[in-house]
Chains A and B, each alone.
Chain A
Amino acid sequence: MGKDSLHVLKGLNLHIKEGEFVSIMGSSGSGKSTLLNIVGLLDTHDEGTYYLNGDLIEKLNEKKAAVLRNKFLGFVFQSFNLISYKTALENVALPLYYKGVSRKERQKIALKYLDKVGLKDRADHVPSELSGGEKQRVAIARALVTNPKVVLADEPTGALDSTTSGSVMELLKEINREGMTVFVITHEEDIAAETDRIVRLLDGVIMSDEKVRKSVKV
């Protein structure tokens, strides 16, 4: 918030293609969250250029950023960030409200995506009545509901136990297989290992950028 700018990311050059399943690895302070916030248009960058879907992103005002986020980006957060007084269905439908979709249509689409994450029967429950894994699946459904270009997941399994983590990662993988670009930020090796491409960050610099050979299930 201060006036002094802090150089967190230095000389970073990263190109993510459509349909990729990328993970950004790094310990805390490596700049991975900053990167996600810039990619997610949640924060602004001071220098350099950023192209989203082929368009140069610069001098965005809040309104434009909001519209772009709504149109192109879906977010999955570590702490879920569901609105506590809204039901699962209402949470999933919220991005569609800001997109200007009619109420009836919103309900229909939201229910479809809840079904996709296997929570159709939990549609009328508020977050406090859902387990951690269920909450994250609701959040994923919400990220997908506007059919964005990229799903950005910030430590999506950070608050989950290993079994639930596995099922959430499976869900992300499935989404990716259907053609969605998925961008995961994590500090856990085994989570990164589930993705197709691992970018390692250290002190705002890319240390390595490698494709992962997929282990084929028998």
Chain B
Amino acid sequence: MFDIGRWLEIFQSIGKNKLRTFLGAFTVALGIFIFTVLFGMGNGLKNTFKKFFSDDATNTIFVRPGTTSKAYKGFKEGRRIQFENEDLELLKKKLGDKIEYISARVYKNVQTRNKKESGTYSVRAVHPEHQFLENTIITEGKFIDANDIKNKTRVVVIGRLVEEDLFKTEHALGKFLELNGLAYKVVGIFKDSGGDNEERLIYAPVSTVQLIYKNTEDIDQINLSFNRSIGASGARKMVTDITKILKEKHFIARDDRSGLFVRSVFENYEQNMQFANVLQIIVIFIGIGTLLAGAIAIGNIMVFVVKERTKELGIRKALGATPNSIVGLILQESVFITAIAGYLGLLIAVFTLSRLGDSLEDYFITNPQVNTSTIVFATFILIFVGALAGYIPARRAARIKPVVALGDD
């Protein structure tokens, strides 16, 4: 390894056989390049899927009422279903600790005003647990809490963009905001990774909104999340249970598809992640195939190289080269070429990926990158491949009797 004489021999051999060296090196560089780029793209695809679902907790279940499409138990079809507080209580009672978080949602579009600035914003009236169902991040103040629900306080938690729109450079926290002419105190500011729309929302206590708007117990939607310990099958059963409980209570036929909607992110997420994983596996498969093709190609070239150099190796043996020194010579040259070429391919690939950046986002590829461990893995593969590709022909060369090698033309 540290024999300068041998390195000189190798450099001379490479220098005098440029085409051969180039072909071998090119194959390896290309193999590594394709492997790395494909792997990066696969990662990019996964990143996209992850991003899609990062907004909401993946164990969330949404329950929405609809309009019946079938007559059932004396009720006509075309009846609009309305949830009320007791529906939420019923689910809590029946499902118990299978529920992780649960919250009602009441939607209102309200004219919102702070002094001269005004606009129409969506208000979501919710329970405190809603914060965890939506990944709402409080940057200042607090979220709606149990006291707010109990005392029906007139407080709001506003999105980052609501503050920007209506308060400009001022701080909103602690100030009052007019919603349809009634003053509410801003008790919190939040941000949300779900995008601009999510940050233009206003959260208020569900009880307050119910009181102010006609003093009803109406609920527009119920959001809940399941306890992860119940597993995938438990979650599926929970979706059926919720459907059954609420259909029974609201007299909706079992096979009525429009009376009630129960949607779970979890199944979508599972399916999509599975899809991304399958794609990644395919990509890895193709990448490894390419790498293997590169390895076989360099092995092929090395076999040819050794064949071509049989006579030279015979001369070297006649002059006193031991078998080990022959193996070492060929092996070192092979590993050297593969390592250098492969590393070059790797660098170009990493550079290409970083240049691509997010330009392929329209094609569902976000931030295509390979991590350090993949690079280390690829480097090891390279050295291994180089050694293997060189070793088999080198050993064969070292075994040939010098008299046979010398007779080779």
Contact = CB atoms under 8 A, between A and B. Distances in A.
B321 interface: yes
A103 B13 contact: no
Interface secondary structure of B, over-half rule: helix
A66 B325 CA distance: 10
Contacts of A42: 318, 401-403, 406
Given A62-B398, A142-B319, A83 B5 contact: no
B318 A94 contact: no
B376 interface: no
Contacts of B371: none
B404 interface: yes
A66 B311 contact: no
By Cβ-Cβ distance, the 4 closest A-B pairs, closest first, are A70-B320, A85-B16, A98-B320, A42-B403
19 contacts: A37-B403, A40-B318, A42-B401, A63-B323, A67-B320, A69-B317, A71-B320, A75-B318, A75-B319, A81-B311, A83-B316, A85-B12, A85-B16, A86-B12, A94-B319, A95-B320, A98-B316, A98-B321, A98-B322
Nearest to B324: A63
A10 interface: no
Given A42-B318, A67-B320, A81-B318, 17 more contacts: A37-B403, A42-B402, A42-B406, A62-B322, A62-B398, A66-B317, A66-B321, A75-B319, A81-B406, A85-B16, A85-B17, A94-B316, A97-B9, A98-B316, A98-B325, A103-B4, A142-B319
B312 interface: yes
B404 A62 contact: no
B317 A97 contact: no
A67 to B, nearest CB: 7
Contacts, number: 69
* Chain A contact patch, size range: 20 to 34
A62 B321 CA distance: 9
Interface residues of B, number: 29
Interface of A: 1, 37, 40, 42-43, 62-63, 66-67, 69-71, 75, 77, 81-86, 90, 94-95, 97-99, 103, 142, 146
B315 interface: yes
Interface string B303-338: 000000001101111111111110000000000000
Interface string B394-408: 000011011110100
Interface string B214-240: 000000000000000000000000000
A44 B370 CA distance: 56
Contacts of B8: 103
Interface in B1-47: 4-5, 8-9, 12-13, 16-17
Nearest to B323: A62
Interface of B: 4-5, 8-9, 12-13, 16-17, 311-312, 314-325, 398-399, 401-404, 406
A34 to B, nearest CB: 9
A99 B319 CA distance: 9
Contacts of A82: 315
B344 to A, nearest CB: 25
Contacts of B316: 83, 94, 98
Given A83-B312, A86-B12, A99 B318 contact: no
Contact of B406 (A71, A77, A86, A98): A77
Given A81-B406, A85-B12, A99 B320 contact: yes
Contact of B13 (A62, A85, A94, A99): A85
A61 B323 CA distance: 10
Nearest to A126: B16
Contacts of B404: 1
Nearest to A82: B315
Contacts of A63: 322-324
Most chain B beta carbons < 10 A, residue from A1, A82, A83: A83
Nearest to B4: A103
A70 B401 contact: no
Contacts of B403: 37, 42-43
Nearest to A87: B12
A54 B5 CA distance: 33
A33 to B, nearest CB: 9
B319 A98 contact: yes
A40 B317 CA distance: 11
Contacts of B322: 62-63, 66-67, 98
Contacts of A85: 12-13, 16-17
B323 A66 contact: yes
Most chain A C-beta atoms within 10 Å of own C-beta, residue among B4, B320, B403: B320
